[in-house]
Amino acid sequence: MQSQDYHTSQQDSDRVDAILSTGPAPLPQTELLPKLHAIQQALGFIAADLVPAIAGAFNLSRAEVHGVITFYHHFQTTPPARHTLHLCQAEACRSMGAEQLLAHAEQALGCRLHGRSADGQFALEPVYCLGQCATSPALTLDHQLHARVTPARLDRLLAQATAGTVAAP
Ligand code: FES
């Protein structure tokens, strides 16, 4: 788990304890996913140092909880990236160069889909249709929509995000 070095604050640990303390003890396994969602919603991610408390609340092994957290891409084990790039990988965009755009993004950020850039600033995620099929390939960067994106334009958007300036549509 990548968040091994992250130390959850006492305040956040208390929030997790509050989430885990609602229900019978031990909690039924059917509650594991809802509780993990609640923890991620509250903290933004599920740090490795929370796994023992979660496992204890469910009377599960740490390995079992770790396995569930890492099985689902939805669960993040590191603090949220500052920027999130969603690249459309659906059919219309793929026919207009989305695969090449993805390859370019992976090279520029130094990570694969579902990964983080080497500096931890960008998360690279797929999305499947943004309703911009006629102006594909499309992406969102920090929820801002961009269409007809070329690799050069993607570079500019990433540079603008890194510099903290508003990316031009
Ligand atoms: S397929 Fe990419 S916007 Fe519709």
Atom nearest to 132 CA in ligand 1: 3
Dig out the tokens for 93 from the structure.
């965009």
CA of 87 to the centre of ligand 1 (A): 9
Cα 5 from Cα 15, distance rounded (Å): 20
Q: Is the pLDDT of residue 166 over 90?
A: no
Among residues of the chain, what percentage have pLDDT more than 70? 94
Q: Is the pLDDT of residue 121 over 60?
A: yes
Long-range CB pairs of 50-58 (<8 Å, 24+ gap) are: 50/8, 50/13, 50/16, 51/1, 53/13, 53/16, 53/17, 53/20, 54/16, 54/20, 56/26, 57/20, 57/21, 57/25, 57/26, 57/27, 58/26, 58/27, 58/28, 58/29, 58/31, 58/32
Mean pLDDT of 39-43: 95
Single pTM value for the model: 0.69
134-152: pLDDT as tens digits? 999 999 999 999 999 999 9
89 lines ligand 1 (CB under 6 A): no
Mean pLDDT of 9-18: 96
Q: Is the pLDDT of residue 168 over 60?
A: no
